[in-house]
Amino acid sequence: LETLLTDLAKVNNSRDRANRLFQWLIHPVQEKSFLRYLTPPGTQGFAPHYDDIEAFVVQLEGKKHWRVYNPRSEDEMLPLVSSPNFSQKEIGQPIMDVVLEAGDLLYFPRGFIHQGDCLPDVHSLHITVSSYQRNCWGDLLLKLMPAALEIAMEEDFQFRKGLPLDYLQFMGVQNSEKEDPRRDKFIAHAQGLMKKLIHFAPVDAAVDQKAKDFLHDCLPPLLNAKEKAGSVYGAPARWGDGEALDVAVELKNQTQIRLMRAGAARLCSDGDTVYLYYTTENSRVYHKEEPKNIEMKAEHLDAMEFLIHSYPKFVSVASLPCETAEAKMSLAELLFEKGLIHTADPLTAE
């Protein structure tokens, strides 16, 4: 154990190749999840299995022997849930057999069976970056179809017509083997309504539902020194209620600003109300808090879209497309307070 802890401490002393690769991955990692695994020499962490995510393994320290296998059948391709453990005789021959060393990266797609074990004389420390969970077309349709049906029932009386009084007499599993013209007519009518349903599908709204779930899953952005210095987290003041407290520091019309991250905020509508969902105040404990959002004023909507689409360019507060200078400044101050924007140059106390 003492040897393992000593070796683990070495990770903090920057193993050049591994550390550069880790820093490359860590930039967008707030939009993924990752786990760290420390495995003693001569042991195996998990039995062979496949996962419901796209996995990237980054070897940080030591070595690890990995074997990767094709999905066993078409039914197991692109699975929605992870598998139970398999025995060796159930999985066939590997398509990849490799030993990862510090700085190496291994990717296995969703559904590919894999197993890793340590060499007899060296431990392993790696992280697994997980992404793309429940992010297939079917998952989008799970959001889309109920919403489409609600709209169709509200807007088209054909969806509100009553079912035949006697449909229980000829439909259902117990009647599925019957030859009855009423069954054919019933099924054809249901299929016709399904075809009409496509025209009521609110695709953008369903995508926004997926986006809100995704933003709730995210960690807050990991800021570099320059971003922190130009944000509320590095400003020489406490901020509250859209203004600087304690010291004289303020945004100006010529101050250059941009979003903290391209995916850190998204405008989504709920009926007649538009909300800005964002990640910068998310808890670092998964779903410890409710999704973060701000109800947007109508006078700020065009400017918020402008900021989102301007990324990664910096724009001046004065260039925000609001009708008044006060609206431009109030939006900039609100976004700054929430950690959603940073300035090109650090703000200084006056």
Q: Domain 137-201: give its CATH code.
A: 1.10.10.1500
Was domain 1-131 assigned CATH 2.60.120.650? yes
Q: Is the pLDDT of residue 245 over 70?
A: no
Phi, psi of 136 (to 5 degrees): -105, 175
Q: How confident is the model at residue 241 (pLDDT cuts 50, 70, 90)?
A: low
DSSP secondary structure string, 75-102? GGSS-SS------GGGT-S-SEEEEEET
Question: In this predicted structure, what is the pLDDT of residue 246?
Answer: 55
Strand 256-259 relative to strand 341-343: parallel, antiparallel, unpaired?
antiparallel
126 versus 17: which is more confidently predicted?
126
Two structure tokens written together for 133? 């969970």
Question: In this predicted structure, what is the pLDDT of residue 244?
Answer: 58
With 0-12 / 13-18 / 19 or more C-beta atoms within 10 angstroms meaning exposed / middle / buried, residue 137 is exposed
Task: Please state the domain extents for the chain.
Answer: 1-131, 137-201, 216-343
Q: Is the pLDDT of residue 79 over 80?
A: yes
What 3-state DSSP class applies to 223? Answer: coil
Helix (H) or strand (E) holding 281: none
Helix (H) or strand (E) holding 332: helix 325-337
Contact criterion met (CB below 8 Å) for 303 and 317: no
Q: Is the pLDDT of residue 181 over 70?
A: yes
Question: In this predicted structure, what is the pLDDT of residue 108?
Answer: 92
Report pLDDT digits (tens) over 308-334.
Answer: 999 999 999 999 999 999 999 999 999
Was domain 216-343 assigned CATH 3.40.50.11540? no
Whole-number Å distance between alpha carbons of 342 and 250: 13
Report pLDDT digits (tens) over 133-157.
Answer: 999 999 999 999 999 999 999 999 9
Strand 96-101 relative to strand 54-69: parallel, antiparallel, unpaired?
antiparallel
Whole-structure pTM value: 0.82
Whole-number Å distance between alpha carbons of 343 and 230: 5
Q: Which of 342, 268, 273, 346 is nearest to 307 (CA)?
A: 342
Q: How confident is the model at residue 1 (pLDDT cuts 50, 70, 90)?
A: very low
Report pLDDT digits (tens) over 41-72.
Answer: 999 988 999 999 999 999 999 999 999 999 99
Q: Is the pLDDT of residue 16 over 50?
A: no
